Amino acid sequence: MKWSLCIGAYAGQDEIYHLEKIKSHGFDGLEYYAWWNLEDIKRTAKAQERIGVGISATCTKFISLVDESLRDAYIQGVRETIEACKILNVRSVISQTGNVLDGVPRDVQRQTMVETLKRCAPLFEEAGIVLEVEPLNGLVDHAGHFLQRSDESVDVIDQVGSPNVKLVFDVYHQQITEGNVIRNAVGYLDRINHYHIADNPGRKQPGTGELNYVNILRAIKDTGFDGFVGLECGYTIDTDEAIAQFKDEVLAKI
């Protein structure tokens, strides 16, 4: 497996600082979500080459997938994101789904999402990039978010039917939404492109809450999964100390 940190792990520091830290920790990538906020995308690309570690995932622009009137805007955002990914050599693009629309049947919204993703799929296939749909919990962090459960998310992915449209499985979100983490994280492996991890409650680094990350990550590793696992979490102690602790108490045991 490969390991990534997320922008913000080092508060107030830019992407280049994060990349240098990631290299020093022996990790493999940076998740930088809002690529459009980069000061100079070509400068970032050159820094990646110099450091030897790059951005492993970004996001497409935050436009609802369940609102048909926004489909053209979503697809335009996808086109722009793909062009940015080509410069940065990014191979994973994360998409949220948007919130539930009042007064519109849920199955209609789901089919709108499926159709939009079907139209996007050839763009990602041609570019060799994977679009990752992300279910989020609605109880604590994202009230009203359309996709929350992994089973419904997998059904959407199966209807789209493209090898370049998959899921990012966020263990923190799915623990809150449904529990049963290991069974779902492993059982849906062929539809998952990468994982996010944080502990619950609190969304801090593994080891600060109720989740047994040694068992969870060992189960994922035992499947032969060789993609990215991203620490999308806050830190209760100095970030470098927290990462060292994560290596000693979790990674060394899986």
- pLDDT for position 62: 87
**DSSP per position, 170-182:** EHHHHHHHT--HH
Domains of the chain by start residue, with CATH: 2-253 (3.20.20.150)
3-class DSSP state of 234: strand
- CA dist 68 and 56 (Å) reads 30
**pLDDT digits over 100-140, tens only?**
999 999 999 999 999 999 999 999 999 999 999 999 999 99
Looking at 80, 232, 241, 249, which residue is catalytic?
232
Residue of 134, 152, 210, 241 marked catalytic: 134
pLDDT confidence of 161, banded at 50, 70, 90? very high
pTM for this entry: 0.97
Q: Is 134 labeled as catalytic in the residue annotation?
A: yes
Residues in Cβ contact with 248 at an 8 Å cutoff, skipping those fewer than 6 apart: none
Nearest by Cα to 82 from 129, 114, 40: 129
User: Is 232 an annotated catalytic residue?
Assistant: yes
